Structure 1
């Protein structure tokens, strides 16, 4: 018989057939349980998937994240899936058994952004992007020179942006103006020449007529 077990007050029923008594057992003291794991701070980047740290205990271990939106953890395997930048606490719990008390252990996980090496862009800006969607090095397109065929090329990200350059019609207009002026001058010259030639012709005709009249008069005089 276990000496730690004691019997309390005893009673016998009136008919003598039933004996009632109280048995007391000592309080059970469970052993302290320990979860063995590296509790140093852990780091990761957005989008990472981390294996559970090696851990052991006297009973089954389960896992929990303090903020599943930043990093979620599989409660059975301890595998961690990182979603966005931030800080979470990963808690391990060893359940209570008949022999061992429940136990806990935890460590911090620091998550930072990991931006792409390649530029992303739209028609106005360029940036580098993390897998969580966060943007870095955001800036407006700049540099390059557009012509009538190609848009300007950004000196940072290399994409074309803006509008095509408008064609310069100044020289064409000047050529057209000069051509019109020359044509007008030619027309004016043609009018002047046309006016001058008939006058000279009439003068020549008058001179010839005068000379003819003089010649006729001289002949008549000589005959007389």
Structure 2
């Protein structure tokens, strides 16, 4: 008939179903006790309950470490959570979208004919610079009729510059005379085989020519002397 409290006793009664006698009984002052070991909780605290509904052992949550359940990206928020070590409450927190920071996601160097660079995951070019070349290496020697080639590689990336080497020019003009041709440069060889001039190394023909020249000179000289004598007479 009266609920006991922690400071006052209560009362209860029951009636006989035959004679209608009513029995009354005092209920002692209430002493809290945990009737359920399960912890109740909200967003900030956890507790256990007495049979009267009173909260017992009320305390603020005690958390473990955060665990990321979804990574944040440049376009989407992420999430993380942590559990209370006493009750079953799980705290969930949103991780804001991350601002983009350029970074090299691939160490490989990209390149074109003039420059090389590395790329961020967003496609932005980083560390852009002109090629730094080593020494030229001849890959094909040039000749008088064909061009050659040479190449040099960039010391940073894999770009290789190739360059043509022009064909070399002839140092002396080519002699078109056939060394096997025995004909005289002043005319064609006599069909009889006589060239009309003494052959080099033939001493007999040379003496013959000298004799003929002396005889001719003597004849001319004699003719001149004869004409002078005739004129004087």
For the pair shown, the structure with the greater C-alpha radius of gyration is: 2
TM, length-normalised to structure 2: 0.34
